[in-house]
């Protein structure tokens, strides 16, 4: 009888261990204060659900009911928890159980806690008819229209990231061969091949330029002047945000109801290749 009483006195309760666990996450595991605070919140939610129980009472059945509780949870603002946020709660529980194991505190094995399956969002893409409408929405009777058409044709026919597009300089292009090399993610160089239509549009656009500046695509700020500490070429280089606005503007003009971004055009490029028989590995290589 005395032995059972001693064992009961040795039991570790959730609330008693959470603060030690959070400090362990921050100090021993080297996580940020923000991460430690989040883990504290997630573990407090477990106490809110189960009460301040001995950690030895964390079982498969309790975890199953906890997952159901998280899935039905609604906060004071009436918001539910996304699957990602539910996963964060369970990841915190896993870490807590591993921490208990390190301290030889009997409880459920961390590997018993499974995470909910989150569906990956499918990347949106434009149909061929929508791409044609997007091109047709851009006026070609002025330099800015030629620039914008060249931008959108390059995004679609080259499959580039918007940051890669912004970095292109005029001297990189070989319009006769319709190819050039860019430095992509991770500092890796890869070739870009573009359509004849894109090459023709770029050539027409460059014929309207007499500024001698390096970037292929410039903003319209003509009041920027070169001075000490100001690189005129870089000051006039079009930014990713500006290209996002350009793409969005013409998508709206074309009456496309989808949310269209530069990444949509990159994904449309990949989809177009796959639908026309390219193998996935080749497409992944071309996308960098």
Dig out the tokens for 53 from the structure. Answer: 């129980």
Q: How far apart are CA 189 and CA 255, in angstroms?
A: 37
Q: How far apart are CA 151 and CA 170, in angstroms?
A: 13
User: Residue 112: is its pLDDT beyond 80?
Assistant: yes
**Mean pLDDT lowest for which of 94-98, 141-145, 194-198?**
194-198
For the chain, residues classed under CATH 1.10.443.10 are: 128-215+229-287
Predicted pLDDT of residue 155: 84
**Mean pLDDT lowest for which of 60-69, 116-125, 214-223?**
116-125
pLDDT classification of 107: cutoffs 50, 70, 90: very high
Query: Considering only CA atoms, which of 196, 205, 193 is closest in space to residue 288?
Result: 193
Predicted pLDDT of residue 226: 63
% of the chain at pLDDT higher than 70: 84
Query: What radius of gyration do the chain's Cα atoms show?
Result: 28
User: Residue 62: is its pLDDT beyond 90?
Assistant: yes
Instruction: CATH number for 12-112: choose from 3.30.365.10, 1.10.10.60, 1.10.390.10, 1.10.150.130.
Output: 1.10.150.130
% of the chain at pLDDT higher than 90: 38
Work out the widest C-alpha separation in the chain, in whole angstroms.
Answer: 95
Is the Cβ–Cβ distance between 111 and 227 less than 8 Å? no
User: Residue 118: is its pLDDT beyond 70?
Assistant: no
Q: What is the dihedral of CA 64, 68, 92, 114, to 10 degrees?
A: 50
User: Residue 210: is its pLDDT beyond 50?
Assistant: yes
Query: Considering only CA atoms, which of 109, 113, 95 is closest in space to residue 17?
Result: 95
As a CATH number, domain 128-215+229-287 is 1.10.443.10
Please report the sign of the dihedral spanned by the C-alpha atoms of residue 141, residue 147, residue 148, residue 150: positive
100 against 266, higher pLDDT: 100
Q: What is the pTM of this model?
A: 0.53
Q: What is the mean pLDDT of the chain?
A: 82
Q: Are strands 189-193 and 179-183 parallel, antiparallel or unpaired?
A: antiparallel
- Find where tokens 């149909």 sit: 127
């Amino acid at each position: 009888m005395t032995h059972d009483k001693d064992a009961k006195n040795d039991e570790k309760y959730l609330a008693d261990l959470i603060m030690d666990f959070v400090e362990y996450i921050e100090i021993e595991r080297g996580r940020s204060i923000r991460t430690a605070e989040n883990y504290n919140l997630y573990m407090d939610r477990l106490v809110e659900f189960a009460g301040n129980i001995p950690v030895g009472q964390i079982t498969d059945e309790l975890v199953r009911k906890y997952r159901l509780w998280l899935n039905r949870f609604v906060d004071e603002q009436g918001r539910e928890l996304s699957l990602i946020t539910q996963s964060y709660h369970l990841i915190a529980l896993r870490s807590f159980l591993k921490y208990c194991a390190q301290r030889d505190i009997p409880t459920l094995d961390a590997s018993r806690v499974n995470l909910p399956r989150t569906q990956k969002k499918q990347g949106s893409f434009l149909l061929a008819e929508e791409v044609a409408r997007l091109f047709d929405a851009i006026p070609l009777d002025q330099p800015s229209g030629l620039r914008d058409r060249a931008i959108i044709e390059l995004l679609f026919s080259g499959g580039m990231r918007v940051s890669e597009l912004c970095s292109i300089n005029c001297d990189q292009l070989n319009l006769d061969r319709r190819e050039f090399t860019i430095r992509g993610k991770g500092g890796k160089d890869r070739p870009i091949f573009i359509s004849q239509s894109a090459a023709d549009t770029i050539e027409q656009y460059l014929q309207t330029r007499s500024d001698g500046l390096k970037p292929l695509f410039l903003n319209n700020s003509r009041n920027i002047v070169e001075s000490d500490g100001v690189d005129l070429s870089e000051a006039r280089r079009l930014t990713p945000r500006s290209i996002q606005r350009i793409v969005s503007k013409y998508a709206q003009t074309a009456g496309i109801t989808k949310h269209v971004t530069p990444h949509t055009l990159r994904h449309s490029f990949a989809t177009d290749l796959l639908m026309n028989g390219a193998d996935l590995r080749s497409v992944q290589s071309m996308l960098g």
